[in-house]
Amino acid sequence: MRLGKYRHWWRYGNIVFLPAVLTVFTLTSIFYAYLLYRMVHPPIPAELVPSYHGLPFSEVRWKNRSGLSMKGWFIPGARGAPVVILCHGYESNRSEVLDLAATLQEKGAYNVLVFNLRGHDQSQPSRTSLGLYEKEDVLSTIDFVLSMSDVEKRIGLWGVSVGGHAALAAAVADERVTAVAVDSVYPNVRSFVGLQTRHLLRSQNRFLTGLMDVYYSAHFLILPSRLSERIPLERLQNTSLLFITGTNSPDLAALTRGLYAEAHAPKDILPLVKSRDNSGYEVLFGDEKRLYDERVLEFFRKAMPVSGHGQARQKV
């Protein structure tokens, strides 16, 4: 009798509970797939060309190391001057750093290249990896600009959020990088995926946010351990570093301070009221933005000075 009773409950469980579990699993998978899709296909603002800021420029194209087509604007400074590559942030594009490009080009005489990271170009559908593969975009951009004539072989990088992570990772991998300024940056992909998941869920629950690691790893066909791989800053010994934080992005500010503490290279930290990270509601503009750009210019002037401001170019 007792064995028959257990069989009865076993059949009942298979009929009732197993479908319920499968339903919950299916609905959870659909929901997280939707969240992940939103994360890797972020909204992108409309583009403004450099001429809006009175800048000379040429449209340039190249391939990244994954074979994806890349496009950017080359803004010429002094002939033979170093190049500063600007890496925009998450939910942004190359247009949103043109005012910084103008400061570097007009006041610093630097050659400047701005480009769209993967997943941030309206004319070329693709997905962002939130820092997993963006390093390859930056490395291919370095290769491209150094193949140009009339530029010095010193490279400066500036980046914010996902662009900052990519810039730091690229600097570790490429010794041709002389100076790096990063704003609201993070040490590994897991930390940024977690931040974006908490933002979308409006929840601090670690289990719920941790589930996204599983779906992200499956989506990109990688082991979950890769999300925890940190940028090995100890390899940077001679590259000048500037870390920028803003109280408008407190979570990223804390992560940025942690990276500053880890770095062994010549370094400085610039705490500001507002950073250029646009994930919050307090966006940098006006006098605050001009002050920000001047401080970044000051960093590059010290770390990567233009010799005699070079020779003026003709407009492109």
pLDDT of residue 15: 65
DSSP line for 154-186: -EEEEEETHHHHHHHHHHHH-TTEEEEEEES--
| Assigned domain for 201 exists | no
The string of pLDDT tens digits covering residues 63-98 is 888 888 899 999 999 999 999 999 999 999 999 999
Which uninterrupted H or E stretch holds 294?
helix 286-303
Nearest Cα to Cα of residue 59 among 169, 192, 51, 130? 51
Q: What is the C-alpha to C-alpha distance for residues 21 and 170, in angstroms, rounded to an integer?
A: 44
- CATH number, domain at 108? 3.40.50.1820
The string of pLDDT tens digits covering residues 133-163 is 999 999 999 999 999 988 999 999 999 999 9
Count of structural domains within the chain: 1
| Assigned domain for 192 exists | no
| Assigned domain for 245 exists | yes
Indicate whether 316 pLDDT > 50: no
The string of pLDDT tens digits covering residues 210-250 is 999 999 999 999 999 999 999 999 999 999 999 999 999 99
What range defines the domain where residue 246 resides?
A: 41-187+230-309
Is residue 111 within 8 A of residue 83, CB to CB? The reply is: yes
Q: Other C-beta atoms within 10 Å of 256: how many?
A: 26
| Assigned domain for 56 exists | yes
Is residue 170 within 8 A of residue 131, CB to CB? The reply is: no
Q: What is the C-alpha to C-alpha distance for residues 6 and 258, in angstroms, rounded to an integer?
A: 56
